[in-house]
Structure 1
Amino acid sequence: MRIESFDALYGKTSPMMQVNDGYVKWLDYKGIEELEQRAMELDGRTFPHLDRLVQVIRSQQRTFGDVTEPLDEKLSLLAKGEAYTMVTGQQVGVFGGPLFAVYKLLTVIKQSNRAERMLGKPVIPIFWMATEDHDYAEINHVFTTQSLSRTLKKDALSSIPLAGKASVGDLEFERLKIELVQMLQRLLMSETETAHTPTLYAELVDLIQESHSFAQFFGGMMRKFVGNDFVLLDPHHKEIRELEVPMFKQIVKKHDSILNTFRHTFEEGMPEVELNKEAAHLFYHDGTRELLTKTEDAFTTKRGHRFTETELLEMIEQHPERFSNNVVSRPLMQDFLLPTLGYVGGPGEISYWLQLRPLFHLFDWKMPLLLPRLGALIVSSNDEKKLSQEHVTVEEYIQAPLPDHLFDDEAFDLDLYPFRTLTESVSQEAKKHGRRFESQARYALEKLAEEMRADAKRRQYRLNERRIRLSTRLMPMNAPQERILSMVPMLNRHGVELFKRIKSEYERSEYERCLIKV
């Protein structure tokens, strides 16, 4: 395995390229070089709930698999306020979700180790699993290849009660286990069988059977195939909600200030991103997950729930498990719960985090370091061979993927002109013996012509097979590989230790946008 720098993954204006360049004026810290300043700010704050939070974290890790002894020791120090954290997060997609989810995890581990060396104090990598989200359609599918087609098939789980309405952490996972095994079978059948397939299949079936939630399935994937030197945090947990009560209350009390500030956070030059700036930035759970909005003197939901501020604060105190964060309040809650040095995000997150800095300031905090996740393209030796046969480099291909060779019907018809002339001549000769002979002759020769056309098209398809293979592996459906493919095809092609090997090589590299040659 070899890792090389590969900036061709993103355009020059991508948030992944601009976060530490063109966007620095909207950040409190200009990158990892200002890590010590961030640590000093955190040292001036208090986190009285850390001891209890670490107890919950330890309890959760037993669900996913034990952590290493050094990490457990760091958790003990975190409980005493003597360690920092580095955070990333993602929705809990089936089979690990798109590849960029595991890339986020690899980045937060690497950046935590780097920060630890720079500060001389323990830093814990934390993956915040977005189990409070309710977008079932975002997590319930994988993409599989189809024979001689550039279009991948979206293979999705069936709907279940409250899907798309309740948090995914509340959905019934048990009833989907058979479907997940069948999905895995289809996913592997769409791949070429390798020496790794039987082991991978057996391990994933076991993991499906052992899991009792989307979070456990997702976390189990990361534990099994990445390692046990990071923390998996499931925020949709009653005891964590209890620790969040003070921050929930602050968000409610500061609603008007947040609203007025947030309306003016977008500046010319920032990426365009849709954010609901009128919401109260908290969800209320009553069977379904409903966004709270303040209208006049009350907080309401679309289903008719209505609370005065006093009533809402009382409800938060009595039933914190009925509340969760939205995309805006989650970063604030992370900063409240954890001494967060930095957040590792992708292009979408970077885009909306740029508008959040003034909200951190409302709480007398600064926004943590905003760090881009690993961007990667996994390329096999077979892929490289096919690119060479097409006389293009990987970089050229990513910038301009090769289209199919088009079948030229008009040129084929021109080639058939002599045959058409012969058909006419034979038909006329047959006609001398009766019209039915003419009809039979013309039918037989026309059928032969269509068979020749079909055979020419099959030859054309075979010419395109190499290009189709490159497309589905490197730029599936003209989208980045990391956004479409899951971990499973890669594990099947390159072995169940693949991401542990990538983790080791990436840790030693200096690159954050990588070409991974396996």
Structure 2
Amino acid sequence: MRQLETGYSKWLDYIGMDELGARAEELQGRPFTHLPELVKVLREQQAIHGPISPVLESKLDALADGEAFTMVTGQQVGVFGGPLFAVYKLLTVLKRAKQAEIKLKKPVIPIFWMATEDHDYAEINHVFVRQPLSRQLRKEALSTVPLAGKASVGELEFDRLKIELVQMLQRLLLSEAETAYTTMLYPELIDLIQASHSFAEFFGRMMRRFVGEDFILFDPHQPAVRALGRDMFKRLITDHDRLNTALHDAFEDGMPHVELNREAAHLFYHDGTRELLTKQDGLFTTKRGHRFTEAELIRQVETYPERFSNNVVSRPLMQDFLFPTLAYIAGPGEIAYWLQLRPLFHVFDWKMPLVIARLGAVLVSANDEKKLAQEGVTLIDYLMEPLPDHAFDEEEFDQSLYAYRTLTEVIGREAGKHGHRFDAKARHVLERLADEMRVEAKRDQYRLNSRRIHLSTRLLPMDAPQERIWSMVPLMNRHGLDLFKRLYDVYEQTEVERCLVKL
């Protein structure tokens, strides 16, 4: 957040939570006439994922009346909740929405925008699993399904993968030590798998069950949502040239580098698969040969809004059209491209919402702390410079046996004075003893490496932050099914961007 408010401030319309009031005033000057219908859709969607709290129900009433604001975050709908940073984004939006309510004295609803319009199946179909005696975690991935990588995730078959998901869960838990929580966690997750009929449902049910009831799970990949976005789709088409000019000129020195398609029309057209629209010589075209004039494309939107969806550039604009959005909670990669989007908001005479960095965490158990102490390093030192494996040096071990080898020679010669067979037998016994010493030395090395492998996989898995590798399941198996509700309590008490959580 500090980097956003200092180094990147000139590319933001609002800087930090102190400017919430100014953003709220701007939103109150904009019409959101579709809110009653949007709230109806939100309620229908929540019924799929599980009940929401009475407090959130009343906030939805306020939103329908234009008397509430929203804060939004989002992520792809990874199996078993995806990487931990998805949960951290959700916990952050809960925290910031609560702070905004206190400041503005109006209801603020946390929204989690599930990226069901995304097509990247490889991003959502896997978890990482520990392997014995290895720092490397194994990627457990679901098999492919028809149209994977071509159609939106919201269109992919889910039910055919349920057996694979159960098997994935079994392998995930078998790679962990059984705990007092395992026998409770396993049947709950099985029930969630069986009750779900899409990746969005499974993800949403995970978040509702294990994080809480005070946020909205929003699925944009539904006909009713596309119909509500009809007017925005039209504006993206009619203002295409102005938007593309703004995006072409958006990057400035000092911005973090990120690849954005600056030639696209920033809309997808759905006709069995998802096709990106581009504009060439006055026509909107796709690679599969669709060709539309602007008027023809507008008629398509008017008649078939479900055939259109947003890309990474237009999604934030659609978000700002649908919701009275105070702020977006972003990860580092998202911040990089959001900084280039401000001129696009200005095309519509809007300002860009606050962009707020998500919070993170370092989760450390008592066992982790014990092993760090045994290694004589602090957590900070370890995260800065992880400890490598102890290598077993055969040559060094052989050198350590020099005196023993000398003694073996002496004993062999003395025994040989009584016959050759005594020389051979003495040498055989002593060599076998040397082999046993070598085995024991390797056992000692294994014990040392086992400790270091534990620290590596728990604290810095595959040399990456925990939140990018671990999923919710192993953590709940170790520390309880209420872990992420407890973690929210920690978030409530801190403003540290990456807080230490002792479990």
Asked whether the two chains share a fold, i.e. TM above 0.5, the reply is: yes
After superposing the two structures, state which structure 1 stretch, 300-309 or 396-405, moved more. 300-309
Change (3 A) 1:88 1:442: same
Aligned equivalents of 2:484 and 2:120: distance in 1?
A: 27
Distance (Å, rounded) in 2 between the aligned partners of 1:34 and 1:151? 45
* C-alpha deviation, 1:77, in angstroms: 1.1
Deviations 1:62-102 (A, max 9, x none): 00011111111111111111110000000000000000101
- SS of the residue aligned with 2:254? coil
Q: CA RMSD in A?
A: 2.4
Paired AA for residue 216 in structure 1 = E
1:107 alignment partner AA? T
Gap change, CA 1:150 and 1:17, over 3 Å in 2 = farther
Which letter maps to 1:35? L
The amino acid across from 1:290 in the alignment is: E
- 2:264 counterpart of 1:279: yes
String of CA shifts for 1:86-124, please: whole Å, max 9, x gaps. 000000000000001011111111111110110011100
- SS at the partner of 1:382? helix
Q: Determine whether 1:38 maps to 2:18.
A: no
Q: Secondary structure at the match of 2:362?
A: strand
Asked if 1:249 is matched to 2:229, the reply is: no
| Structure 1 residue 313, shift from structure 2 partner | 1.3
Which residue of structure 1 lines up, in the alignment, with residue 121 of structure 2?
136
Are residues 387 and 246 of structure 1, via their aligned partners in 2, closer, same or farther at CA, if it must alter by over 3 Å? same
* Structure-1 separation of matches of 2:276 and 2:37: 28
Q: Which residue of 1 aligns with 2:139?
A: 154
Number of residue pairs aligned between Structure 1 and Structure 2:
497
Deviation at 1:17, TM superposition (A): 4.6
TM-score by length of 2: 0.94
Which one of the candidate residues 75, 89, 113 is aligned to 1:90?
75
Q: What CA deviation, in whole Å up to 9, does each residue of 1:126-153 have, x standing for no partner?
A: 0000001010000000001111110001
Partner of 2:276: 291
Residue aligning to 2:223: 238
Alignment match of 2:479 (pick from 473, 494, 508): 494
Of 107, 112, 118, the match for 2:103: 118
Q: Is the 8 A contact 2:490 2:501 kept in 1?
A: no
- AA matched with 1:414: Q
Letter in 1 for 2:346: H
Per the alignment, residue 130 of structure 2 pairs with 145
User: What's the secondary structure of 1:19's corresponding residue?
Assistant: helix
Q: CA deviation at 1:237?
A: 0.5
Pair 1:414–1:121, CA change in 2 (3 A): same
Q: Comparing 342-351 with 251-260, which one deviates more in the overlay?
A: 251-260
From the superposition, tell whether residues 305 and 390 of structure 1 become closer, same or farther in structure 2 (CA, over 3 Å).
Answer: same
Quote the offset at 1:184 in angstroms. Answer: 0.6
Shift of 1:305: 2.0
Q: How does 1:155-234 map to 2 (within 5 A)?
A: 155-234=140-219
For 2:112, the equivalent position in structure 1 comes to: 127
2:51 paired residue among 62, 66, 83 = 66
Which amino acid counterpart does residue 457 of structure 2 have in structure 1? T
* From 331, 337, 347, the counterpart of 1:346: 331
Aligned to 1:398: 383
Instruction: Give the Cα–Cα distance (whole angstroms) in 1 for the partners of residues 434 and 294 of structure 2.
Output: 79
2-structure distance, mates of 1:422, 1:292 = 82
Q: Is the 8 A contact 2:68 2:109 kept in 1?
A: yes
Deviation at 1:408, TM superposition (A): 2.0
- What amino acid is the match of 1:496? L
Query: Gaps (5+ residues) in structure 1?
Result: 1-15
Structure 2 gap ranges (5+)? none
Find the aligned partners of 1:126 and 1:109 in 2 and give their Cα distance: 9
Aligned to 1:101: 86
Counterpart for residue 309 of structure 1: 294
Distance in 1, Cα, partners of 2:219 & 2:449? 46
Alignment correspondent of 1:328: 313
Match of 2:372 among 367, 387, 403: 387
Give the deviation of 1:253 after TM superposition: 1.1
Aligned-pair CA distance for 1:508: 3.2
Using the TM superposition, give the Cα deviation of residue 511 of structure 1 relative to its aligned residue in structure 2, in angstroms: 3.2
Identity of aligned residues (%): 67
Please give the alpha-carbon distance, in whole angstroms, between the structure 2 residues aligned to 1:379 and 1:495: 14
Say which SS state the counterpart of residue 193 (structure 2) adopts: helix
Give the counterpart of 1:462 among 422, 444, 447.
447
Higher relative contact order (CA 8 A, sep 6+): 1
Q: Which residue of 2 aligns with 1:373?
A: 358
Q: Is the 8 A contact 2:36 2:64 kept in 1?
A: yes
Letter in 2 for 1:359: L
Q: Which runs of 4+ in 1 moved over 4 A?
A: 416-427, 440-455
- The one-character-per-residue Cα deviations of 1:374-432 (angstroms, maximum 9, x if unpaired) are 111111111111111112211111111111112223312433556778999989x99xx
The answer to whether the aligner puts 1:48 opposite 2:29 as a matched pair is: no
| Worse-superposed segment, 297-306 or 129-138 | 297-306
Q: Distance in 2 between matches of 1:180 and 1:444?
A: 54
